[in-house]
Amino acid sequence: MKYLKRILGILLIFSMLFFSACGKTEEQEIKSEYNLITTEEAYQRMNENINAVILDVRTQEEYNAGHISGAILVPNETIKDNKPDKLPDLDEEILIYCRSGNRSQQAAEKLLKIGYTNVYDFGGIQDWTYGIVTGEEEPAKEKKEPSMSWFKTTDLEGNAVTQDIFSEYDLTMINVWGTYCSPCLKEMPDLGNISREYNETGFQIIGISIDMFAADGSFSDDKIKTAKEIIDTTDATYTHLLPSNDLIKAKLREIDVIPYTFFVDSKGEIVGKPYVGSKTEEKWKKIIEEQLEAIKNESNQ
């Protein structure tokens, strides 16, 4: 389990359709990872991921004359061989634009060469139709805490699931587990009992099995079959989701050890503290009651 974080990092790369550079030339490596998207797609990404970096690679003068709200300025000509100070995280989502699309492509390729893994070029501000602001660079925005308020995935049966799965419940307990994890499997019968006992009380349990990937990054039918067999054996018949890229980005890539359990409200916002390791049925019931009481008190204020 100590290697879980490394595994999740690898899965994130696979799920973003990035490929290993082994045996490729530098030019082929950059080309294989280069993502060109439309301004419409960029706008959607900005709304879906509040922590996405909007990167303006024009000059200071151009930026001051008009830029996308929230964009940071790193002129293309200043990007060399090292990480720019304003871009400390190699894995954060970066949406790049310039005036017409030439400099944004250059900047994207240079960032990929440095080692950034999640870079998107959406061309020029001349094609942007969603409004701009003028003036000096705005203060850096504070990153929001992880949230499950937007995602797409499927359950183990292949049914589409989004954040709407939370909407009819005051509290959802999300249990992250793996088919190889003995403590995970040990507590699943208790979680199944709790799920049935709390049915129709405004509370639900959802499982996410993280080790569902094949070597090529696709979901493995064999591993999904194994997960289903475990669920049947342990009678943990609540909903179980596949770890889609959205879920990895939203929360899973932060997880070092499983089982890992956290709670969200009806909007998918994380509430309370996370819990690492397995617990008895009675301990989980106590924690659940405390979380439900906290949500009730907050709604009455």
pLDDT at residue 49, rounded to an integer = 75
184 noted as active-site residue: no
Given this model, what pLDDT does residue 7 score?
A: 53
- CATH code of the region 152-300: 3.40.30.10
Element (H, E) at 187: helix 182-197
Q: Are 259 and 169 in contact (CB under 8 A)?
A: no
User: Which long-range contacts (C-beta less than 8 Å, at least 24 apart) are formed by 137-145?
Assistant: 137/63, 137/72, 137/73, 138/69, 138/70, 140/72, 141/70, 143/51, 144/50, 144/51, 145/270
Over its length of 301 residues, how does the chain's per-residue pLDDT go in tens digits?
Answer: 444 555 555 454 444 433 333 333 343 344 436 799 999 999 988 877 777 899 999 999 999 999 998 899 999 999 999 999 999 888 889 999 999 999 999 999 999 999 998 999 999 999 999 889 888 776 655 555 678 988 999 999 999 999 999 999 999 999 999 999 999 999 999 999 999 999 888 999 999 999 999 888 899 999 999 999 999 999 999 999 999 988 988 899 888 899 999 999 999 999 999 999 999 999 999 999 999 999 888 777 6
User: Where do the CATH 3.40.250.10 domains begin and end in the chain?
Assistant: 34-127
Give the pLDDT score at 181: 95
Q: What is the largest CA-CA distance in the chain?
A: 65
Between 182-197 and 221-234, two packed helices, what is the crossing angle to 10 degrees? 60
Q: Is the pTM of this model over 0.75?
A: no
Q: Is the peptide bond before 146 cis (omega within 30 degrees of 0)?
A: no
Query: Of residues 22, 98, 181, 184, which has the active-site annotation?
Result: 98
Supply the DSSP string of 38-73, one letter for each residue: -HHHHHHHHHH-TTPEEEE-S-HHHHHH-B-TT-EE
pLDDT at 130: 86
pLDDT at res. 301: 64
The pLDDT value given to residue 144: 58
List, by residue range, all CATH 3.40.30.10 domains of the chain: 152-300
Supply the pLDDT for residue 47: 77
CATH of domain 34-127: 3.40.250.10
pLDDT (0 to 100) of residue 139: 61
